[in-house]
Amino acid sequence: MGTATSSPARGSGQAGKQASTVDQQQQDDGGPWEVDLAIPFEEITDIRPLADGTGCTCWQGSLGGNDEGNKRVAIKTLKASNSTSDSDAKDLDRELSILQHLRHPNVVRLAGAGQSPEGGRFVATELLSGGTLSAAIGTQDRPEGTGWFQRFRVRTWFPMDEALRQAAGVASALAYLHDEAVPGAKVLHRDIKPNNLAFTGDFRTLKLFDFGLAKMLRPDDSIGDNLYTMTGNTGSMRYMAPEVARNLPANETADVYSFAIVLWEMVSLELPFQFYGVKQLSERVAFGGDRPRLAPDWPTGFTDLLTRCWSADLSERPSMAEVEKRLREVLTGNN
C-alpha cells in the first residue's frame, strides 16, 4: 500500500461506526491511533495524489474532527475503471484483514477503512511522511544531465551503522510477522523492497508497508518440510527469492532473501544487479546463482550473515529473529 511520500528523508462501509483503539502507541504528532472500519469518506480532507498503481490509486489526506485532532493518512482506493479486476478487490480486502492483526513499531499502522464515493473499498493507514528508503539512499535518482549508467550518490548522511540500526528494526518487524503477529500462522510480506519501506516524519523509524501481496500461512497449508505452494513470480524481480521466481515451493525464508538484498543495497549504496534486465535476473540470479558483490572491508559477521540469508538453499537461511540478533551484534562489535 502506498503509505509513503516520495521525497527523500532528509537531515467496508457498515451502518454505524465500529471504532476501536488498537494500541497505545503514539503517532508522530503525539496522538493515539484508533481504527475505524466505517470511516465516512467525506471526513477525509485535504486529499492529494500520492501514487498510482495498476488496480489501485493511493492518496494522502487528513482524518479527524478538528485541526488539533487531525492525523495524516494514506488512502488506498480501488480504481473505478472497468479494468479493475475482482482480484484487486480481493487483494485489498486481504490487506485490510492482515493489517488488523499487526502491532509493531516498524510496521505501518492501520487507521481504518470504508467505502469510497464510487462504492469500492478504501483502506487508510498512517502516512510515512519521511519518504521511502529508495528515495533516502538515492538508488533511483538520476539528475538532469547525468548519463544513464552513472549513479547519483547523495547519501553521506546514511552511514553503515545507521543502515544496520534501521535494518535491525525491519528485521524485528519481519520476525514478528513470521512468528508472532497471528497465533498459529505466519504472515509473509512477499514484496520487500526499498519502495515498500519508508521513514516516519522524524526520520527515526523505518517501517514496512504495502501488504497487498502478503499471505497468511498455517501449518495445515504446508505440503511438507515447512514448504508451501504459492503463486510464483510474486513481488519485484530484483528482490525476488529464486524459488519464487522459479515457481517452486517456498516459505517465509523468501522474505529473508529479499531482506538481504535490500540490506546489501542500504550498506553498499548501489542498486543490486543494476545492469540486469528481467531476462538476466531470471537466468543469472534465479537460475544461475549470481549474488551482489561483498566489500572486503565489511565486518565478517555481516558478510557471513548476508551469504546465509541469500543462499539458494532455503534450509541455510536464518530466521528473521536470528537476523535481528546478528545485526545488533555487528552494531556492537560482537561479531
pLDDT at 209 over 50: yes
When pLDDT is averaged across residues 12-41 and rounded to a whole number, the result is 52
What pLDDT does 233 receive? 80
Q: Three cell numbers at 234?
A: 510474486
Backbone angles phi, psi at 185, to 5 degrees: -150, 160
Q: pLDDT digits over 171-206, tens only?
A: 999 999 999 999 999 999 999 999 999 999 999 999
Alpha carbons within 13 angstroms on the beta-carbon side of residue 230 total 26
288 Rama sector, left if φ>0, alpha if ψ -120 to 50, beta otherwise? alpha
What pLDDT does 23 receive? 38
With a CB cutoff of 8 Å and minimum separation 6, the contacts of 48 are 59, 60, 61
Under a CB-based contact definition with an 8 Å cutoff, are residues 77 and 120 in contact?
yes
Residue 18: pLDDT band (50, 70, 90) is very low
Q: Where in the chain is the domain with CATH 3.30.200.20?
A: 19-126
What pLDDT does 234 receive? 87
Under a CB-based contact definition with an 8 Å cutoff, are residues 73 and 126 in contact?
yes
Hey, how many other C-beta atoms are within 10 angstroms of the C-beta on 77?
21
Q: pLDDT digits over 116-132, tens only?
A: 887 788 999 999 999 99
Residue 71: pLDDT band (50, 70, 90) is confident
Helix axes 160-179, 320-332, angle to 10 degrees: 160
- How far apart, in whole angstroms, are the C-alpha atoms of residue 190 and residue 287? 19
**For the domain bounded by 147-332, which CATH number is listed?**
1.10.510.10
When pLDDT is averaged across residues 71-94 and rounded to a whole number, the result is 80
- How far apart, in whole angstroms, are the C-alpha atoms of residue 325 and residue 172? 9
Residue 24: pLDDT band (50, 70, 90) is very low
What pLDDT does 333 receive? 87
What pLDDT does 69 receive? 55
When pLDDT is averaged across residues 198-227 and rounded to a whole number, the result is 94
What pLDDT does 144 receive? 46
Q: What is the 3-state secondary structure (H, E, C) of the chain?
A: CCCECCCCCCCCCCCCCCEECCCCCECCCCCECCEECCCCHHHEEEEEEEEECCCEEEEEEEECCCCCCCEEEEEEEECCCCCCCHHHHHHHHHHHHHHCCCCCCCECCEEEEEECCCCCEEEEEECECCEEHHHHHCCCCCCCCCCCCCCCCCCCCCCHHHHHHHHHHHHHHHHHHHHCCCCCCEEECCCCCHHHEEECCCCCCEEECCCCCCEEECHHHCCECCEECCCCCCCCHHHCCHHHHCCCCECCHHHHHHHHHHHHHHHHCCCCCCCCCHHHHHHHHHCCCCCCCCCCCCCHHHHHHHHHHCCCCHHHCCCHHHHHHHHHHHHHCCC
Strands, sheet with 56-63, edge to edge from the N-terminal-most edge strand: 19-20, 35-36, 110-115, 121-126, 71-78, 56-63, 44-52
Under a CB-based contact definition with an 8 Å cutoff, are residues 20 and 144 in contact?
no
**For the domain bounded by 19-126, which CATH number is listed?**
3.30.200.20
Residue 138: pLDDT band (50, 70, 90) is confident
When pLDDT is averaged across residues 36-52 and rounded to a whole number, the result is 91
Q: Where in the chain is the domain with CATH 1.10.510.10?
A: 147-332
Closest CA to 137 of 268, 301, 289: 268
What pLDDT does 157 receive? 57
Least confident of 22-36, 58-72, 87-101: 22-36
- How far apart, in whole angstroms, are the C-alpha atoms of residue 203 and residue 219? 38
Q: pLDDT digits over 237-250, tens only?
A: 999 999 999 999 99
Residue 66: pLDDT band (50, 70, 90) is low
What spatial distance separates the first Cα and last Cα of the chain, rounded to whole Å? 36
Out of 88, 191, 210, 255, pick the active-site residue.
191
pLDDT at 8 over 60: no
Task: Check if 191 is active-site.
Answer: yes
* Residue that wins the pLDDT comparison between 140 and 254: 254
Mean pLDDT of the chain: 85
